[in-house]
Amino acid sequence: SIGDMMLINSIPADYFWIGYPEVIGTHLSYPLERGFFVYAPTERHWLYRDGDYLHICRYSKTDNDGIMINYDIASTPIWRKIDNLDISGTWIQFWKYSISEQTPILASASAITGITSFTGPDAYIYDLITLENSGSIVEKQLYDNNSGNWKIIEIMTSGLAEQVSYEDAETVEPDGTLFPLATGNYWKIPPDPIVQLPNHFGYKITDILNFYWIPPHYMPGPSYYNLYDNGVFLTQINLPNSSVNIPIPEEGIEHTYTLSGMYSSGEYFALNQIVITYTSNQEEVQPVNQLSIYPNPFNPAASQLTLKFDAPKSIETRVAVYNLKGQLVWSNLWEKGATELSWDGRDNHGRLCASGLYQISIISDKGHRVNRKLMLLR
């Protein structure tokens, strides 16, 4: 006993940590440990790299007496693919270890590149790895090629009940791959928040338009989801689905898509909307530049809010402010080539907005969007 420890307004994070290597068989292998707060880890995956893959050669697990027991895996299956996650990639991947049978349980995995984005404050371009062991458990691993970070969505479905784990890890010394094997590398995994809204509403376009999202971290979940196009009901999505395909929209017309979850207490909207203007050749266009806003938090009684970015002269853009329900509060057209715009904290009817969290979006006439969050104080 070292005394009492008080935790204030925070749940300690889980972590992954790479320890000191050992030679197992013919491979120099590193232990990847997962732990919680100050407690000793309960399991270790011993990994070595071979080309684009990490292989697992030993699984260590604590028994009922707290003693770490080693189980060597002679077949050294693939644990993760960590590089060159191409669109046609499929492989067999380690899922978990069966101690009772002393054998690894494998799953099929596939990679899909070209995910357009998760629109919202965390707008990235991802490679998506889908790992499936059975019809009831699906893991989607999203790898950000730009920052070297990774995200995992683990979805367990049973009838209409859903439980979702969303992990957002921060790594040190990334080398452009998943889980670089170097002693001391550390990934912090913040605890899951309780979320009632469907979040990270994203999309990709192929021969169809595919929308996807992370279901709410809330039990019980919604009865179903609604998808709207320009404010008009488009389709209902029943659980346990968290994606939907629709035909390619009409060319040249701007479509604003919103997603909601339907509960007995009401309808709750995802924080972001998706704006798409489809063209048949799907030509690449330059997105609007990054947006900066200040001051943030913002008090309209003291000053105006300044929004700044370099608007491309050839692209028409508009600014829009949304509340947490996804409702439009204020909008304005951004003059081509202008660098700054101000907002006085009033809605489109001239009323002062209430204190709270808002989302500011800059949307181009090509459908590209940049989002930032703003705290308004009165």
Query: What pTM, to 2 d.p., does this model score?
Result: 0.60
Q: Residue 375, Cβ neighbours under 10 Å: how many? A: 13
- Taking only the tens place, the pLDDT of each residue in 61-115 is 988 888 899 999 999 999 988 888 777 778 899 988 999 899 999 988 888 766 6
- Taking only the tens place, the pLDDT of each residue in 185-225 is 888 877 666 666 777 787 877 778 888 887 776 556 788 99
pLDDT at 314: 53
pLDDT at 23: 97
pLDDT at 224: 92
User: What is the average per-residue pLDDT within 232-258?
Assistant: 86
Which of 12-16, 120-124, 302-306 has the highest mean predicted lDDT (pLDDT)?
302-306
Q: What pLDDT band is residue 159 in, cutting at 50, 70 and 90?
A: very low
pLDDT at 181 over 80: yes
pLDDT at 132 over 70: yes
Q: Which long-range contacts (CB under 8 A, 24 or more apart) does 349-356 make?
A: 352/300, 352/378, 353/300, 353/323, 353/329, 354/378, 356/323, 356/324
- Taking only the tens place, the pLDDT of each residue in 36-48 is 877 888 899 999 9
Structure tokens at 146: 């730009």
pLDDT at 343 over 90: no
